[in-house]
């Protein structure tokens, strides 16, 4: 193991964006290099104001704080402090390189290029544009060191938090872009906490009425459920203590935007939403995760089709946890999420956490011409980097294909009512059917794709309108296992098949 990054002091609990800031004590001192960067940025932005009327330096300092919360390395934090200096002040890249080294200069340059690309774009449609030049520069900036993207996400988070200072038109534009580009990116990087905050902030500007309605709904449901949840928490705590499993248990509240999306998927039927409130249990190791799952199932009745083992089979972005939905003694339906501390940290901070755990030195590797080592679930980043390298060498690549590749393993198809369902690329009609509901999946007799009769072997394509034909007398068939692509549908089908 190489030495630890200097500023990322491990502590027992990951810091939380929602956590109360310690009053006077507990705030770590900035390192001399960071202190110097703050001085430099403060004097460089002197006299500049934000739209809110505050001194401009508030913004880079907020970005610094976010990057610290994500426990990023010192170079990234310094680059965050300086990220707007080259673009907006008299400080040059060579000034930065001379004082802070080429690593920091490299990161600031990347963020500057990224903003330069953005500046020439007038609206959301041009953000991932057909215009080759912008896109090429965007790719090169993004692909060369993923920390550039992390700084950009911190920048966007603070800008989203302060959106209210902008005129309404601009608010909506930035909010939409945040919802469509940055929140999905955060998701792809498994930065769960960031995704939730970005998406909910943005959604509150994109569709304020819907946002308020759903937010109130969630709060009311939580209020109603809170007493029952307390009791369940107590029962679970008792049994875990008895079995001598070390644990932390807490409530997890569903984000507004994910509820909005889930409702769209389930034809606005609240009865289909089982995870409005969930309890999260954090235990020391994987064995304890499965033990806890077993104990929960001995205590309550599990809803079989809602047991998900994302530890054995992680989500595409690397997310790991055990999920189970149970029916309690008082007939309450509760979802539990069980994970280790490391899995939790990774689910909340994602790529940022993987920097911390892997102690990666990205810029150095990149400059040596090495493609960075990343978790396999983030291979798309490697792909991006390889493409960026090809672009730099002047090799030709199909930009259109690359653009699609950014969100490659997903396709979006429609129900006849127009609801969007996202599925992994390669999915078949039965995957779609089981995704809608097991009841639909188990009674499939045929499928219409784009209004025409089709067959169950036909791979779904981006934009297809899929109509599942069902019959009450139909029963699930073993042969369907060959006509299924997703593990989700396979698991559901297996539960419905007669045990042989």
Interface positions with Mn ion (CB under 5 A)? 84, 155
CB of 72 to Mn ion, least distance (A): 16
Question: What backbone torsions phi and psi does residue 282 show, to the nearest 5 degrees?
Answer: -110, 125
Residue 66 vs 384, nearer CB to Mn ion: 66
The reply to whether 88 belongs to the active site is: yes
Residue 84 vs 187, nearer CB to Mn ion: 84
CB of 419 to Mn ion, least distance (A): 36
Q: Which residue has the tokens 């730099």?
A: 392
Query: Could you give the C-alpha distances from 379 to 30, 188, 193, 316, in angstroms and in order?
Result: 34, 11, 21, 10
CB of 59 to Mn ion, least distance (A): 6
Active-site annotation holder among 11, 74, 84, 88: 88
Stated length of the chain? 500
Residue 155 vs 177, nearer CB to Mn ion: 155
**3 state SS of 128:** coil
Residue 153 vs 466, nearer CB to Mn ion: 153
Strands 277-283 and 333-340: parallel
Q: Determine how many CB atoms are found less than 10 A away from the CB of residue 243.
A: 13
Helix axis angle for 146-161 and 132-144, nearest 10°, is 110
Query: Could you give the C-alpha distances from 326 to 291, 321, 335, 444, in angstroms and in order?
Result: 16, 16, 6, 28
Residue 54 vs 422, nearer CB to Mn ion: 54
CB of 84 to Mn ion, least distance (A): 5
Q: Determine how many CB atoms are found less than 10 A away from the CB of residue 263.
A: 18
Residue 75 vs 155, nearer CB to Mn ion: 155
Of 379, 374, 477, 489, nearest in space to 426 by CA: 489
CB-count exposure of residue 268 (10 Å: 0-12, 13-18, 19+): exposed
The dihedral built from the CA positions of residue 352, 37, 371 and 133, taken in this order, carries a sign that is positive
Spatial separation of the C-alpha atoms in residues 182 and 409, rounded to whole Å: 17
Residue 81 vs 259, nearer CB to Mn ion: 81
Residue 153 vs 433, nearer CB to Mn ion: 153
Of 366, 374, 355, 375, nearest in space to 7 by CA: 355
Residues 391-402 as b/e (b if ≥16 CB within 10 A, e otherwise) read beeeeeeebeeb
Tokens describing residue 48: 């500049």
Helix axis angle for 146-161 and 192-206, nearest 10°, is 40
CB of 217 to Mn ion, least distance (A): 34
Spatial separation of the C-alpha atoms in residues 42 and 35, rounded to whole Å: 11
Helices (H), 406-445: 429-436, 438-441
Spatial separation of the C-alpha atoms in residues 164 and 82, rounded to whole Å: 24
Residue 45 vs 188, nearer CB to Mn ion: 45
Dihedral class, residue 374 (left if φ above 0, else alpha if ψ from -120 to 50, else beta)? beta
What are the beta bridge partners of residue 326?
A: 302, 334
Active-site annotation holder among 69, 87, 95, 305: 87
The tally of CA atoms less than 13 A away on the side-chain side of residue 360 is 22
CB of 111 to Mn ion, least distance (A): 8
Strands 301-302 and 308-309: unpaired
Residue 42 vs 470, nearer CB to Mn ion: 42
Catalytic residues: 87-88
């Amino acid at each position: 193991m190489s030495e630890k990054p200097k500023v990322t002091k491990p502590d027992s609990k990951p810091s939380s964006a929602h956590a109360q800031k310690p009053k006077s004590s507990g705030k770590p001192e900035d390192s001399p290099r960071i202190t110097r960067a703050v001085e430099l940025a403060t004097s460089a932005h002197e006299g500049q104001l934000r739209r809110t009327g505050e001194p401009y330096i508030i913004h880079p300092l907020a970005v610094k704080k976010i990057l610290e919360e994500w426990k990023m390395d010192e170079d990234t934090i310094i680059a965050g402090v300086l990220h707007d200096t080259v673009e907006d002040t008299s400080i040059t890249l060579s000034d930065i390189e001379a004082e802070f080294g080429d690593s920091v200069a490299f990161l600031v340059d990347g963020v500057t290029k990224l903003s330069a690309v953005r500046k020439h774009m007038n609206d959301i449609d041009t953000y991932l544009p057909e215009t080759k030049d912008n896109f090429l520069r965007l790719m090169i900036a993004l692909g060369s060191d993923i920390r550039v993207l992390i700084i950009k996400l911190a920048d966007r988070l603070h800008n989203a938090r302060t959106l209210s200072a902008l005129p309404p038109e601009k608010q909506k534009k930035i909010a939409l872009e945040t919802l469509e580009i940055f929140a999905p990116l955060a998701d792809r990087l498994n930065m769960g906490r960031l995704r939730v905050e970005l998406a909910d902030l943005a959604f509150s500007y994109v569709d304020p009425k819907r946002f308020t309605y759903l937010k109130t709904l969630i709060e009311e449901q939580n209020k109603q459920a809170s007493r029952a949840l307390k009791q369940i928490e107590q029962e679970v705590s008792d049994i875990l203590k008895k079995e001598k499993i070390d644990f932390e248990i807490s409530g997890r509240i569903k984000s507004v935007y994910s509820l909005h999306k889930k409702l769209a998927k389930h034809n606005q039927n609240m009865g289909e939403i089982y995870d409005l409130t969930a309890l999260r249990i954090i235990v020391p190791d994987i064995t304890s995760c499965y033990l806890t799952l077993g104990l929960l199932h001995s205590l309550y009745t599990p809803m079989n089709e809602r047991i998900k083992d994302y530890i054995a089979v992680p989500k595409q972005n690397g997310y790991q946890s055990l999920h189970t939905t149970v029916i309690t003694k008082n007939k309450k339906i509760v979802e539990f999420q069980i994970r280790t501390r490391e899995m939790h940290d990774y689910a909340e901070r994602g790529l940022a956490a993987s920097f911390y755990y892997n102690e990666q030195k990205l810029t150095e590797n990149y400059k040596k011409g090495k493609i960075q080592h990343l978790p396999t679930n983030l291979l798309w980043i490697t792909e991006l980097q390889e493409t960026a390298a090809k672009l730099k060498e002047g090799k030709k690549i199909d930009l259109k294909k690359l653009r699609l590749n950014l969100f490659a393993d997903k396709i979006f198809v429609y129900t006849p009512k127009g609801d969007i369902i996202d599925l992994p690329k390669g999915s078949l009609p039965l995957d779609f059917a089981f995704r809608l509901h097991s009841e639909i999946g188990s009674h499939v007799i045929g499928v219409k794709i784009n209004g025409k009769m089709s067959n169950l072997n036909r791979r779904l394509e981006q934009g297809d309108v899929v109509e599942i034909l069902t019959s009450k007398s139909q029963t699930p068939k073993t042969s369907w296992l060959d006509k299924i692509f997703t593990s989700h549908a396979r698991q559901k089908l297996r539960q419905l098949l007669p045990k042989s």
